[in-house]
Structure 1
Protein backbone atom coordinates (compact mmCIF):
# COMPACT_ATOMS: atom_id res chain seq x y z
CA UNK A 1 0.00 0.00 0.00
CA UNK A 2 1.38 3.38 -1.01
CA UNK A 3 2.04 5.93 1.71
CA UNK A 4 0.78 9.51 1.36
CA UNK A 5 2.65 12.52 2.75
CA UNK A 6 1.98 16.24 2.51
CA UNK A 7 4.72 18.84 3.00
CA UNK A 8 3.56 22.40 3.57
CA UNK A 9 5.44 25.28 1.97
CA UNK A 10 5.34 29.02 2.51
CA UNK A 11 7.38 31.79 0.96
CA UNK A 12 10.78 31.75 2.64
CA UNK A 13 10.96 28.02 3.43
CA UNK A 14 14.48 26.55 3.53
CA UNK A 15 15.03 25.02 0.09
CA UNK A 16 17.14 22.02 1.12
CA UNK A 17 15.02 21.08 4.15
CA UNK A 18 11.82 20.97 2.12
CA UNK A 19 13.02 19.59 -1.19
CA UNK A 20 15.37 16.93 0.22
CA UNK A 21 12.35 15.35 1.90
CA UNK A 22 10.38 15.50 -1.36
CA UNK A 23 13.25 14.13 -3.46
CA UNK A 24 14.14 11.19 -1.22
CA UNK A 25 10.52 10.24 -0.53
CA UNK A 26 9.77 10.18 -4.25
CA UNK A 27 12.81 7.96 -4.80
CA UNK A 28 11.26 5.63 -2.18
CA UNK A 29 7.95 5.63 -4.13
CA UNK A 30 6.15 7.54 -1.36
CA UNK A 31 3.38 9.75 -2.73
CA UNK A 32 4.46 13.12 -1.32
CA UNK A 33 2.71 16.31 -2.38
CA UNK A 34 4.00 19.85 -1.94
CA UNK A 35 1.27 22.15 -0.63
CA UNK A 36 1.24 25.95 -0.77
CA UNK A 37 -0.44 27.67 2.16
CA UNK A 38 -1.14 30.62 -0.13
CA UNK A 39 -4.14 31.02 -2.43
CA UNK A 40 -1.81 30.23 -5.35
CA UNK A 41 0.76 27.50 -5.95
CA UNK A 42 3.67 29.92 -6.59
CA UNK A 43 6.25 29.85 -3.81
CA UNK A 44 9.62 31.56 -3.44
CA UNK A 45 12.16 29.73 -1.25
CA UNK A 46 14.36 31.46 1.32
CA UNK A 47 17.10 31.66 -1.32
CA UNK A 48 14.96 33.15 -4.06
CA UNK A 49 14.12 30.04 -6.06
CA UNK A 50 10.65 30.31 -7.59
CA UNK A 51 8.65 27.09 -7.76
CA UNK A 52 5.16 25.71 -8.17
CA UNK A 53 3.72 23.41 -5.53
CA UNK A 54 1.63 20.40 -6.47
CA UNK A 55 -1.39 21.74 -4.58
CA UNK A 56 -2.82 24.75 -2.79
CA UNK A 57 -3.99 24.15 0.80
CA UNK A 58 -7.59 25.28 0.36
CA UNK A 59 -8.19 22.91 -2.58
CA UNK A 60 -6.82 19.80 -0.88
CA UNK A 61 -8.40 17.03 1.18
CA UNK A 62 -5.81 15.64 3.61
CA UNK A 63 -7.86 12.68 4.88
CA UNK A 64 -5.59 10.19 3.08
CA UNK A 65 -2.39 11.43 4.74
CA UNK A 66 -0.02 9.11 6.58
CA UNK A 67 2.30 11.96 7.61
CA UNK A 68 2.41 15.77 7.60
CA UNK A 69 5.76 17.60 7.31
CA UNK A 70 6.80 21.23 7.78
CA UNK A 71 10.26 22.55 6.83
CA UNK A 72 12.10 25.41 8.51
CA UNK A 73 13.61 28.55 7.13
CA UNK A 74 12.63 32.14 7.70
CA UNK A 75 10.25 33.71 7.21
CA UNK A 76 8.65 30.45 6.02
CA UNK A 77 8.34 28.96 9.51
CA UNK A 78 6.69 32.15 10.77
CA UNK A 79 4.13 32.03 7.95
CA UNK A 80 3.41 28.32 8.54
CA UNK A 81 2.87 28.94 12.26
CA UNK A 82 0.51 31.85 11.55
CA UNK A 83 -1.65 29.95 9.05
CA UNK A 84 -4.55 28.80 11.21
CA UNK A 85 -5.99 26.18 8.79
CA UNK A 86 -2.59 24.41 8.83
CA UNK A 87 -2.31 24.66 12.62
CA UNK A 88 -5.81 23.19 12.95
CA UNK A 89 -4.94 20.34 10.55
CA UNK A 90 -1.66 19.58 12.35
CA UNK A 91 -3.43 19.61 15.74
CA UNK A 92 -6.19 17.27 14.57
CA UNK A 93 -3.65 14.94 12.98
CA UNK A 94 -1.43 14.96 16.09
CA UNK A 95 -4.37 14.28 18.42
CA UNK A 96 -5.27 11.22 16.32
CA UNK A 97 -1.75 9.87 16.96
CA UNK A 98 -0.72 10.26 13.33
CA UNK A 99 2.83 11.18 12.32
CA UNK A 100 3.95 14.81 12.17
CA UNK A 101 7.48 15.99 11.39
CA UNK A 102 9.34 19.32 11.47
CA UNK A 103 12.92 20.46 10.86
CA UNK A 104 15.05 23.49 11.76
CA UNK A 105 12.90 26.35 13.11
CA UNK A 106 9.64 24.50 12.39
CA UNK A 107 9.65 22.41 15.62
CA UNK A 108 8.84 25.71 17.38
CA UNK A 109 5.45 25.57 15.61
CA UNK A 110 4.90 22.16 17.22
CA UNK A 111 5.92 23.59 20.61
CA UNK A 112 3.44 26.46 20.24
CA UNK A 113 0.71 23.94 19.41
CA UNK A 114 1.59 21.91 22.54
CA UNK A 115 2.90 18.84 20.72
CA UNK A 116 6.28 18.79 22.48
CA UNK A 117 5.10 18.93 26.08
CA UNK A 118 7.03 16.20 27.91
CA UNK A 119 8.58 14.91 24.68
CA UNK A 120 12.17 14.75 23.52
CA UNK A 121 12.75 17.16 20.59
CA UNK A 122 15.38 19.13 18.70
CA UNK A 123 15.55 22.21 16.48
CA UNK A 124 17.96 24.67 14.90
CA UNK A 125 20.43 25.85 17.59
CA UNK A 126 19.02 29.39 17.86
CA UNK A 127 15.48 27.95 18.10
CA UNK A 128 16.10 25.50 20.94
CA UNK A 129 14.71 27.96 23.51
CA UNK A 130 11.45 27.89 21.56
CA UNK A 131 10.88 24.21 22.37
CA UNK A 132 8.69 24.98 25.38
CA UNK A 133 7.89 21.94 27.48
CA UNK A 134 10.27 19.64 25.59
CA UNK A 135 13.30 17.73 26.74
CA UNK A 136 15.81 19.32 24.37
CA UNK A 137 18.19 17.06 22.45
CA UNK A 138 21.22 17.75 20.28
CA UNK A 139 20.63 14.60 18.20
CA UNK A 140 20.30 15.26 14.46
CA UNK A 141 16.85 13.61 14.35
CA UNK A 142 14.58 12.90 17.31
CA UNK A 143 11.56 10.60 17.15
CA UNK A 144 9.26 10.67 20.18
CA UNK A 145 6.01 8.84 19.58
CA UNK A 146 4.29 10.31 16.53
CA UNK A 147 6.48 13.45 16.48
CA UNK A 148 9.78 13.72 14.57
CA UNK A 149 12.03 16.77 14.82
CA UNK A 150 15.38 17.62 13.26
CA UNK A 151 18.02 20.36 13.49
CA UNK A 152 18.46 21.98 10.08
CA UNK A 153 19.87 21.93 6.57
CA UNK A 154 22.84 19.78 7.60
CA UNK A 155 20.50 17.10 8.96
CA UNK A 156 17.99 17.17 6.07
CA UNK A 157 19.11 13.86 4.54
CA UNK A 158 19.05 12.11 7.93
CA UNK A 159 15.61 13.63 8.56
CA UNK A 160 14.22 12.47 5.21
CA UNK A 161 15.67 8.97 5.59
CA UNK A 162 14.23 8.73 9.10
CA UNK A 163 10.78 9.59 7.76
CA UNK A 164 11.16 7.00 5.00
CA UNK A 165 12.24 4.43 7.59
CA UNK A 166 9.18 5.18 9.71
CA UNK A 167 6.82 4.79 6.76
CA UNK A 168 8.43 1.94 4.80
CA UNK A 169 11.00 0.35 7.10
CA UNK A 170 14.72 0.80 7.68
CA UNK A 171 15.65 -1.53 4.82
CA UNK A 172 14.04 0.85 2.33
CA UNK A 173 15.65 3.87 3.99
CA UNK A 174 19.05 2.15 3.75
CA UNK A 175 18.46 1.34 0.07
CA UNK A 176 17.60 4.97 -0.68
CA UNK A 177 20.67 6.16 1.24
CA UNK A 178 22.86 3.78 -0.76
CA UNK A 179 21.27 4.87 -4.05
CA UNK A 180 22.30 8.49 -3.41
CA UNK A 181 25.76 7.52 -2.04
CA UNK A 182 24.93 8.60 1.50
CA UNK A 183 26.38 6.87 4.56
CA UNK A 184 23.82 6.56 7.38
CA UNK A 185 25.17 6.87 10.89
Structure 2
Protein backbone atom coordinates (compact mmCIF):
# COMPACT_ATOMS: atom_id res chain seq x y z
CA UNK A 1 0.00 0.00 0.00
CA UNK A 2 1.27 3.46 -0.91
CA UNK A 3 1.64 5.84 2.00
CA UNK A 4 3.22 9.29 1.99
CA UNK A 5 4.53 11.13 5.03
CA UNK A 6 4.70 14.93 4.78
CA UNK A 7 6.73 16.45 7.60
CA UNK A 8 5.46 19.62 9.27
CA UNK A 9 8.08 21.59 11.19
CA UNK A 10 7.27 24.86 12.95
CA UNK A 11 7.47 27.57 10.29
CA UNK A 12 6.56 25.34 7.34
CA UNK A 13 5.48 27.09 4.13
CA UNK A 14 1.71 26.65 4.10
CA UNK A 15 1.19 26.71 0.32
CA UNK A 16 3.81 24.02 -0.23
CA UNK A 17 2.50 21.71 2.47
CA UNK A 18 -1.23 22.14 1.86
CA UNK A 19 -1.00 22.02 -1.94
CA UNK A 20 1.10 18.87 -1.87
CA UNK A 21 -1.14 17.09 0.64
CA UNK A 22 -4.30 18.19 -1.17
CA UNK A 23 -3.14 16.94 -4.58
CA UNK A 24 -1.85 13.64 -3.21
CA UNK A 25 -5.16 13.04 -1.42
CA UNK A 26 -7.18 14.01 -4.53
CA UNK A 27 -5.19 11.29 -6.30
CA UNK A 28 -6.36 8.91 -3.56
CA UNK A 29 -2.90 8.41 -2.12
CA UNK A 30 -2.84 7.90 1.64
CA UNK A 31 -1.01 10.98 2.90
CA UNK A 32 -0.22 11.64 6.55
CA UNK A 33 1.16 14.76 8.19
CA UNK A 34 4.01 14.14 10.62
CA UNK A 35 5.22 16.50 13.35
CA UNK A 36 8.92 16.70 14.13
CA UNK A 37 8.13 16.42 17.83
CA UNK A 38 5.29 15.29 20.09
CA UNK A 39 2.96 18.21 19.29
CA UNK A 40 0.02 17.37 17.07
CA UNK A 41 -0.59 21.05 16.23
CA UNK A 42 2.10 22.74 14.13
CA UNK A 43 2.11 26.41 13.12
CA UNK A 44 3.39 27.52 9.73
CA UNK A 45 5.29 30.62 8.65
CA UNK A 46 2.07 32.62 8.14
CA UNK A 47 0.51 31.61 11.46
CA UNK A 48 -1.73 28.85 10.12
CA UNK A 49 -1.90 25.99 12.59
CA UNK A 50 -2.51 22.50 11.26
CA UNK A 51 -3.44 19.33 13.09
CA UNK A 52 -1.02 16.56 12.07
CA UNK A 53 -1.70 12.82 12.00
CA UNK A 54 1.44 11.42 13.60
CA UNK A 55 4.23 12.47 15.92
CA UNK A 56 7.82 11.85 14.86
CA UNK A 57 7.99 8.83 17.17
CA UNK A 58 4.72 7.38 15.85
CA UNK A 59 5.90 7.79 12.26
CA UNK A 60 9.00 5.73 13.05
CA UNK A 61 6.93 2.53 13.16
CA UNK A 62 5.43 3.22 9.72
CA UNK A 63 7.17 2.45 6.43
CA UNK A 64 6.17 5.23 4.05
CA UNK A 65 6.53 4.86 0.32
CA UNK A 66 7.59 8.52 0.11
CA UNK A 67 8.75 11.21 2.54
CA UNK A 68 8.07 14.86 1.59
CA UNK A 69 9.64 17.96 3.13
CA UNK A 70 7.97 21.35 2.60
CA UNK A 71 10.15 24.44 2.79
CA UNK A 72 9.85 27.84 4.38
CA UNK A 73 11.55 28.75 7.67
CA UNK A 74 10.57 25.28 8.91
CA UNK A 75 13.38 23.91 6.77
CA UNK A 76 15.82 25.40 9.30
CA UNK A 77 14.08 23.41 12.06
CA UNK A 78 14.39 20.24 9.96
CA UNK A 79 18.04 21.07 9.26
CA UNK A 80 18.79 20.89 12.99
CA UNK A 81 16.82 17.67 13.58
CA UNK A 82 19.42 14.86 13.47
CA UNK A 83 16.86 12.02 13.77
CA UNK A 84 15.11 13.33 10.64
CA UNK A 85 18.43 13.28 8.77
CA UNK A 86 18.85 9.64 9.79
CA UNK A 87 15.29 8.78 8.76
CA UNK A 88 15.91 10.30 5.31
CA UNK A 89 19.12 8.28 4.88
CA UNK A 90 17.27 5.10 5.90
CA UNK A 91 14.49 5.89 3.42
CA UNK A 92 16.98 6.15 0.54
CA UNK A 93 18.93 3.09 1.74
CA UNK A 94 15.65 1.14 1.51
CA UNK A 95 15.20 2.36 -2.10
CA UNK A 96 12.22 4.51 -1.16
CA UNK A 97 11.99 8.09 -2.49
CA UNK A 98 12.21 11.44 -0.76
CA UNK A 99 11.08 14.84 -2.01
CA UNK A 100 11.76 18.41 -0.89
CA UNK A 101 10.62 21.83 -2.05
CA UNK A 102 11.85 25.43 -1.63
CA UNK A 103 14.47 25.62 1.14
CA UNK A 104 13.99 21.98 2.18
CA UNK A 105 16.41 20.51 -0.39
CA UNK A 106 19.16 21.83 1.92
CA UNK A 107 17.94 19.23 4.45
CA UNK A 108 18.59 16.53 1.84
CA UNK A 109 22.00 18.10 1.22
CA UNK A 110 22.88 17.98 4.92
CA UNK A 111 21.78 14.33 5.06
CA UNK A 112 24.28 13.61 2.27
CA UNK A 113 21.65 12.58 -0.26
CA UNK A 114 22.39 14.99 -3.12
CA UNK A 115 25.91 13.93 -4.10
CA UNK A 116 25.90 13.63 -7.90
CA UNK A 117 22.13 14.20 -8.11
CA UNK A 118 20.33 16.83 -10.17
CA UNK A 119 18.34 19.07 -7.82
CA UNK A 120 16.66 22.45 -7.63
CA UNK A 121 15.68 24.77 -4.80
CA UNK A 122 14.46 28.23 -3.89
CA UNK A 123 16.73 30.89 -5.42
CA UNK A 124 19.59 31.68 -3.07
CA UNK A 125 20.16 28.15 -1.78
CA UNK A 126 21.92 26.84 -4.89
CA UNK A 127 25.39 27.14 -3.35
CA UNK A 128 24.39 24.94 -0.40
CA UNK A 129 23.26 22.24 -2.79
CA UNK A 130 26.37 22.59 -4.95
CA UNK A 131 28.63 22.34 -1.89
CA UNK A 132 26.88 19.03 -1.10
CA UNK A 133 27.75 17.75 -4.56
CA UNK A 134 24.40 18.36 -6.25
CA UNK A 135 24.12 19.26 -9.91
CA UNK A 136 21.98 22.37 -9.52
CA UNK A 137 19.19 22.79 -12.07
CA UNK A 138 17.11 25.87 -12.89
CA UNK A 139 13.99 23.79 -13.59
CA UNK A 140 10.86 24.09 -11.44
CA UNK A 141 10.69 20.37 -10.59
CA UNK A 142 13.59 17.93 -10.87
CA UNK A 143 13.53 14.18 -10.31
CA UNK A 144 16.77 12.21 -10.24
CA UNK A 145 16.47 8.63 -9.11
CA UNK A 146 14.86 8.55 -5.68
CA UNK A 147 15.16 12.33 -5.15
CA UNK A 148 12.60 14.92 -6.28
CA UNK A 149 13.07 18.63 -5.61
CA UNK A 150 11.22 21.81 -6.50
CA UNK A 151 11.69 25.57 -6.26
CA UNK A 152 8.93 27.02 -4.08
CA UNK A 153 5.30 27.88 -3.38
CA UNK A 154 4.61 28.77 -7.01
CA UNK A 155 5.75 25.33 -8.16
CA UNK A 156 3.99 23.32 -5.43
CA UNK A 157 1.20 22.00 -7.66
CA UNK A 158 3.64 20.87 -10.36
CA UNK A 159 5.76 19.27 -7.63
CA UNK A 160 2.78 17.40 -6.18
CA UNK A 161 1.58 16.24 -9.59
CA UNK A 162 5.09 14.91 -10.31
CA UNK A 163 4.97 12.99 -7.02
CA UNK A 164 1.62 11.44 -7.98
CA UNK A 165 3.14 10.41 -11.32
CA UNK A 166 6.25 8.99 -9.65
CA UNK A 167 4.04 6.93 -7.36
CA UNK A 168 2.73 5.17 -10.47
CA UNK A 169 -0.53 7.03 -10.86
CA UNK A 170 -0.05 8.75 -14.23
CA UNK A 171 -3.77 8.72 -14.99
CA UNK A 172 -4.64 10.20 -11.58
CA UNK A 173 -1.97 12.91 -12.04
CA UNK A 174 -3.52 13.82 -15.38
CA UNK A 175 -7.10 13.78 -14.03
CA UNK A 176 -6.28 15.82 -10.93
CA UNK A 177 -4.17 18.28 -12.92
CA UNK A 178 -6.97 18.82 -15.44
CA UNK A 179 -9.66 19.11 -12.76
CA UNK A 180 -7.60 21.76 -10.95
CA UNK A 181 -6.80 23.57 -14.25
CA UNK A 182 -3.05 22.96 -13.95
CA UNK A 183 -2.88 20.97 -17.19
| 2:98 corresponds to which of 88, 97, 100 | 100
Deviation at 1:62, TM superposition (A): 4.6
Deviation at 1:143, TM superposition (A): 0.4
User: Aligned equivalents of 2:112 and 2:89: distance in 1?
Assistant: 9
Question: Residue 57 of structure 2 aligns with which residue?
Answer: 58
| 1:127 corresponds to which of 125, 136, 143 | 125
Deviation at 1:71, TM superposition (A): 0.5
Question: Residue 141 of structure 2 aligns with which residue?
Answer: 141
Number of residue equivalences: 181
3-state SS, counterpart of residue 159 of structure 1: helix
Superposition misfits of 4+ residues, deviation over 4 angstroms? none
Segments of structure 2 that go 5 or more residues without pairing to the other structure are none
Question: RMSD between aligned alpha carbons?
Answer: 1.1
User: Aligned equivalents of 1:173 and 1:141: distance in 2?
Assistant: 15
Question: Residue 179 of structure 1 aligns with which residue?
Answer: 179
Question: Residue 24 of structure 1 aligns with which residue?
Answer: 23
Question: Residue 5 of structure 1 aligns with which residue?
Answer: 4
Residue by residue, what CA displacement relative to the aligned partner does 1:100-145 show, whole Å, maximum 9, x if unpaired? 0000000011111111101110000011111021111011110000
3-state SS, counterpart of residue 105 of structure 1: coil
3-state SS, counterpart of residue 22 of structure 1: helix
Residue by residue, what CA displacement relative to the aligned partner does 1:71-107 show, whole Å, maximum 9, x if unpaired? 1001x00111211221111111112221000000000
**TM value normalised by structure 2:** 0.95
User: Aligned equivalents of 2:29 and 2:170: distance in 1?
Assistant: 14
3-state SS, counterpart of residue 142 of structure 1: strand
